[in-house]
Amino acid sequence: MEVTAQTLRVSDVLAPVTTLGPGRRLGVWVQGCPLTCAGCMSRHTWDPRGGRDVDVERLAALWRRGLADGYDGLTVSGGEPLEQPRALAALLDAVDRVRHEAGRTDADVLVYTGWEDAEIAASPRAAAALARADAVITGRYRAGEPTRLVWRGSANQRLIPRTPLGHRRYGPHLRRLTDRPELQIRVTDTAVHIIGVPRTGDLSALERDLATRGVTFQENSWRP
């Protein structure tokens, strides 16, 4: 469900994010994903009627503030960003404009998508939407293919630099393995947000650990 090219249906916007790409980043999670990967940790982002509409220029203003604060990049995740190709293109156009205006062309844009490379190549709208992305991480999440590759949830997912900046920044990380998952935990009065890519069993372990401290979940986003 795409409202207008200038409005993105969003699940969450958080900053600084340090676990989905290099450095300190603005994180935008879009709302709506029809791919229904088994084991997805973000089932709350599936329903396209959930979340809220956010004007692209409002997100661009957050990006401008982040750049002034020294942020290293923007990560768009989801949900499925390519379900809103016109809005995604408008967002990345605005983001590119702002980084040039701010003299911060060193700040990169990373987009996660569950689409496979061949699906992107076969869709002119998807390819156009990603035109300003410096790097993409592509492919469905497959719970049966665990990986230690940084920033990826399963071994099939590919990190693909698309621009000279993307090659400089992500080239050293293409095959980099991590010893432990990089996760940020953000706690509010009503929710625990887990930001990053957990390994198999990490979320259940976290749930058990929190239970020993008296914190139990009424519902969570990774269980049907």
Q: 19 to 58, contacts with ligand SF4 by CB under 6 A?
A: 33, 35-37, 40, 42, 45
Query: What is the dihedral angle through the alpha carbons of 54, 88, 78, 22, rounded to the nearest 10 degrees?
Result: -110
Kindly tell me which of 107 and 197 has the beta carbon lying closer to ligand SF4.
Answer: 197
Considering only residues 141, 149, 161, 203, which one is a binding residue for ligand SF4 as defined by CB under 6 A? 141
How far is it, in rounded angstroms, from Cα 54 to Cα 33? 17
- For tokens 């998508």, what's the residue? 113
Q: Binding segment for ligand SF4 among 55-63, 76-84, 92-100, 203-211 (CB under 6 A)?
A: 76-84
Considering only residues 51, 73, 79, 198, which one is a binding residue for ligand SF4 as defined by CB under 6 A? 79
User: What tokens were used for 111?
Assistant: 């987009």
140 belongs to the binding site for ligand SF4 (CB under 6 A):
yes
User: What tokens were used for 171?
Assistant: 């080239």
Three-class SS of residue 124?
helix
Kindly tell me which of 33 and 67 has the beta carbon lying closer to ligand SF4.
Answer: 33
Closest alpha carbon to 107 in 157, 166, 154, 161: 166
Kindly tell me which of 7 and 31 has the beta carbon lying closer to ligand SF4.
Answer: 31
How far is it, in rounded angstroms, from Cα 137 to Cα 70? 24
Q: Which residue is at the shortest CB distance from ligand SF4? A: 114
Kindly tell me which of 7 and 11 has the beta carbon lying closer to ligand SF4.
Answer: 11
